[in-house]
Structure 1
Amino acid sequence: MVNYREIIRLKTLDYSNARVASSCGSSRNTVAEVWNLAKEKNLIWPLDETMTNLDLHKVFYPYQGGEKGKKLPDFEYIHKELARPGVTLSLLWAEYCAQCAEEHAIPYQHSQFNEHYHSYAATKKATLRIHRKPGELMEVDWAGDTLTVYDSQTGEPMKAYVFVACLPCSLYSYTEAFPDMKSYHWIQAHIHAYNFFGGSTRILVPDNLKTGVIKNTRTELVLNRAYHEMAEYYGSAVIPARPVSPKDYRRKNVIGNSAKYL
């Protein structure tokens, strides 16, 4: 989506159309059109902080459902739905396309849909990029949902628990399904992940599941004995995510090489 707010801000500061276009990733014609519309609507900087680019689009093009006549998705609804377990942008895009078909409207392509949503989401939450060193840490956990697999001989359904390991610098990932989440399979999954990646990382970041972490408080960290011995063998330090807040993990200073190769 066009960054209407930034165009208005820069044009208010008397930047040329060419400079604004270069800064905002839009064409000079788009910049000129937006600035003329802003003056017609008496929109001057600073704008109300609650007015998003989506709101400005509706103000500038009130008779247009979306760019080039396409139906504009309900990004507020999408933003809320993504907080639910198992909901993805792909599922919401499929739902949006079905809605467009019912209304005989033109939908956005999947890539455009994602791009517009991410632009919207950027206005809702401040984020800070965390820089990672290659090979320094591996984040591990069991996936939230189980899979159903079927015995090839009897056809009997069985649950499969999916282990996920990720190198956050590159987002290179490894997954494997197991019949349960017991300690033996937890350790085995780490070994298979290390073999897949070709080396062991300095730091392991698990969630606080009992097969890996017995106790994790501000003053005390008690690891499962087998898990501690495995980490010791591979030269890794286990630094669990904070209880209740695994997403805000912050690296601690751990002395050692960036990676120990198998």
Structure 2
Amino acid sequence: MIHYRKILELNDEGVSLRGIAASTGNSRQKVSEVIELARKKGVECPLEEEMNDRWIEEFLYPEKTMEGSGRQPLDFEYIHKELAKPNVTLSLLHHEYEAGSRANNAIPYSYQSFVRYYGNYAQKHKATMRIRRKPGEIMEVDWAGSTLFFIDRDTGEKVKAYVFVATLPCSQFSYAEATLSMDQHSWINAHIHAYEYFGGVTQIVVSDNLKTGVTKHTSRELVLNPTYKEMANHYSTIVMPARVRSPKDKASVEGSVGTISTWIIAALRSTHCFSIEELNVELRKKLEEFNQRPFTRKEGCRFSAFEEEEKFALSPLPGTPYKISEWRTAKVRPDYHISVDSMFYSVPYEYINQEVDVKLSDDMVVVYFKHMWLTSHKRLYGRFGQPSTLPEHMPDNHKLYIEHTPEVAIEWASSIGSSTSIVVKYLLDSYQSERQALQSIFSLKKLEHRYTKYEIEIACKMVLSMTGRPTVKSIQTILKSNKKKDAEQELKQNTEVNETNFGFTRGASYYGGKE
């Protein structure tokens, strides 16, 4: 039997290799090997009481415990590495190990022994054990039951702050942040900050059934809040809320909430801060201390476990962080606008009286109809009642009116003729209000739907020959009169044509009359 403990203790006291070999009865080569292996694996004096020769041997030479059994040895490093991969389980690895043993004519270990040996190995040599949780697979999130506070500088009152907690179950690495409320905006922002703190994204987010994240959760149906779902899609992750009244579904975060309540929230009970920013600075200091605290039953801490065993498995962050948005519904008004926070945004007039979905961000308003994009507007701030109207959303007659300006009116009149230009310029100069002048010109412009440009120009010319103060009403009267004269003249011409263009007719004598 090799006296591992004695070798390490004598070496710590400075005894030479020759002296240790003579004292323990082991060769100098073996003594040197044990000391070097213990140094590599971090076994240092003073040793704990439980670290007897058998414990140290199993720690330094885990394969020795299986020697002499005639069974196929286990490659623990390979098992631990493979368990980090998606969908790889101990059952699959044992099946592969068993098949390899049969092929080598060796006796495999049973599944129970396989799991036990790996568990012993991982508990002693690795920061995390991958039997239950895979690295980078899950992030559990929740609000802490306890709250913090800071002092309002103006009133001296205590302002309550709520603590968001996120935990990676594999390494137990945690994140915490204080917010002013538990609303959706705070909930989403805390997720974004947690991803930035971890430096990556997990495959799954396990949350509680909060209204800020989950609209409906039954055994048959899961409906996520649209903003929460959109955030998950942005980070390419999946939200899987814990079952109702099933705290075991997120046991890690429940445990972390209790621990953080002690080591962070309670530790800040005597700290006086005067803003939420100051409070978060102090909270971050306590959080770093919490993640650096050594484990009680194994080597390392939460931070080292995360760096060594889980960070590599996180998916990379997207190029830009998620920009929080809010979803609402609105009904399109008869004026083809929707009302959002007392501001008005246009949509295509064909959707009047329809219900639409509205996505609000800090700078944009995006409108959807049955998941189909309709339009986007820059978000308006300031005085209530401001409109944002796009010309392409208007009916043709509205579009014609809204685009009517003095410049456009003069340009249109020039396209008709010189007489029309004189009339339009007179109207613009004669009215006290430009709005009234444009209204009259707009009425004149609408005549183009019933009359040709030539007819309008002739009517304007006739009005100018009769008066120096032309009006739209007089032009309309002349147009109607000209139209009527043209119609009568055309009817007369058609009648004359019918009377001259006749065929052979019988005379009066044919009917017994006189010529």
TM-score (norm 2): 0.24
Q: Which has the higher helix share?
A: 2
Bigger RCO (CA 8 Å, 6+ sep) = 1
